[in-house]
Structure 1
């Protein structure tokens, strides 16, 4: 079947990497990664955590900034009108708001709390990346069709080049995962993989090595 979007010119212009990469890690917290929680245990999310830890390690070694976030509410009145009931249990300080241990072990430079889907909405993420002179944002995290997609669109709207390693993001449902990545690839981001992102970070590091 022909791709009607491609025929209209969607996805016809690759974005590529710019002058400096940074990594954002969206919602890899135990409430979404640990099978003990209602929303945890999805195989695609598990795969994404493992690959993101590897990507974070490369970014930290190269000196590229890494910003992680978690969903956490000060109280019920601090939450938007989420339709996902278990999200409303993610009160600040509760077990579900802790970073997944594999992500925490890689020591992100900044950990932010958010209440809305995007890592950029109502947080300092965009300002921090701009201060660090980042122009290319590598988006990782979960859930692909929700908070990851929102973060991709906000990164694009803020003027960043957006790169999304497919194996560093995960969803509850593989169909939703692939459909949403295909859709943002048509409009806002390049869809790559962890190895491609790591290679780009390492090239940037070598090009900027002043030693």
Structure 2
């Protein structure tokens, strides 16, 4: 992770988070509203790249027995919503709207824990953290969208729950590349290791071999 000299002088990013004894994966907001171009927020190139890469990661994770939690964002009506500043969220992120369905490329019913969140973080008032604690997970891989919003929020909550936190750059996406890069650089200085799909696949494969030995 590239840092300015001033951050380096102040020791930001000097310590790697590393990997622990057991991984888990969260998949944040890969719902059709973000992955289907027919919807106002859908089809951003970085998000589409992230969906495909996350699907590859999840195939390995499920094969070796890594726990997975996925989420969408949806509300009963505007009264239930926080004060979003995004018109498209208010108009489409409703329980009966087709844009809130999870993208089938990343969701496997019967294996994944599925929750509906109401704020940016997959961990906020959802029970997801407790699920992973019961599974004795200590290393969280955060995937999904958008990097500058719900990924950042989820990564910070993962850190706050004392998980070692990895964010694979090519498994998260945003509307524009600038906020994507800026937020990864920022959380990489403080809270997480910014990695990539290849690193995480190798970690899961090594964990799976060790766990089956």
Q: Give the 3 Å change call, closer, same or farther, for CA 144–185 of structure 1 in structure 2.
A: same
Normalised by the length of structure 1, the TM-score is 0.96
What SS does the aligned partner of 1:162 have?
strand
What count of residue pairs does the alignment treat as equivalent? Answer: 210
- Runs of 4+ with deviation above 6 angstroms: none
Q: List gaps (5 residues or longer) in structure 1.
A: none
User: What's the RMSD between the two structures over aligned residues?
Assistant: 1.3
Distance (whole Å) between structure 2 residues aligned to residue 113 and residue 73 of structure 1: 9
Distance (whole Å) between structure 2 residues aligned to residue 20 and residue 68 of structure 1: 18
**Counterpart check, 1:202 vs 2:200:** no
What SS does the aligned partner of 2:105 have?
helix
Match of 1:4 among 3, 6, 13: 6
What SS does the aligned partner of 1:191 have?
strand
Match of 1:82 among 59, 74, 84: 84
Normalised by the length of structure 2, the TM-score is 0.95
Distance (whole Å) between structure 2 residues aligned to residue 107 and residue 34 of structure 1: 24
Residues 41-190 of structure 1: matches in 2 within 5 Å? 41-88=43-90, 89-104=92-107, 108-190=111-193
Alpha-carbon contact 1:57-1:106 (below 8 Å) kept: no
